[in-house]
Amino acid sequence: MLVTAVAFLLYFSGSGMSQAAADAADETWMGAERIALLCHVQGPAGTQMAELSRQICAEARGTIVGWTDLPVEVLGWGDPALIAPQTVALLVHGAAGEPPAGEGLLAVTIGIRRGGQATRLFGTRPRIAPITRTRDVIEASLAELFARSPAVEGRVD
């Protein structure tokens, strides 16, 4: 099953900015006062992977802090700041799997939400990398999401 999912994602992971990322630049950032991160990684059979969730949040935060002057906070489930009108919330979702032989893989996608605005249904396109190289997929996904954002104007590689 994981092999099929990986093949599907690799086949459909062409280059370029997703429509969701392009649309996100329109109004999401107007008047934003902070960026909030909520990260969640699920393992095989739906197991929760708290340490890997913390790791990808730290990696995402470290990248974003270098790109913007807005404060960047890692928040937990149920924190009301996630839906505050002045908060841009980035939802980092990972799915970890163990291939039959070798190193585990992590698929990551990042959604974007803004309190008080219509919810966007999709975020960045999924990206897959070995678990030991999560920084690569996090940075690529964030670069896609922030490509047209005035919050990071001229700072994204």
77-86 residue pLDDT tens:
999 999 899 9
- Considering only residues 106 and 44, tell me which one the structure prediction assigns the higher pLDDT: 106
SS3 of the chain: the string is CHHHHHHHHHHCCCCCCCHHHHHHHHHCCCCCCEEEEEEEEECHHHCECHHHHHHHHHHHHHHHHCCCCCCEEECCCCCHHHHCCCEEEEEEEEEEECCCCCCCEEEEEEEEEECCCCCCCCCCCCEEEEHHHHHHHHHHHHHHHHCCCHHHCCCCC
Task: Name the band, by pLDDT with cuts 50, 70 and 90, for residue 44.
Answer: confident
Please give the model's pTM, rounded to 2 decimal places.
0.77
Query: Is the confidence at residue 118, as pLDDT, over 50?
Result: yes
Class of domain 2-152: alpha beta
pLDDT tens digit string along 24-35?
445 788 888 999
pLDDT tens digit string along 58-112?
999 999 999 889 999 999 999 999 989 999 999 999 998 876 556 788 999 999 9
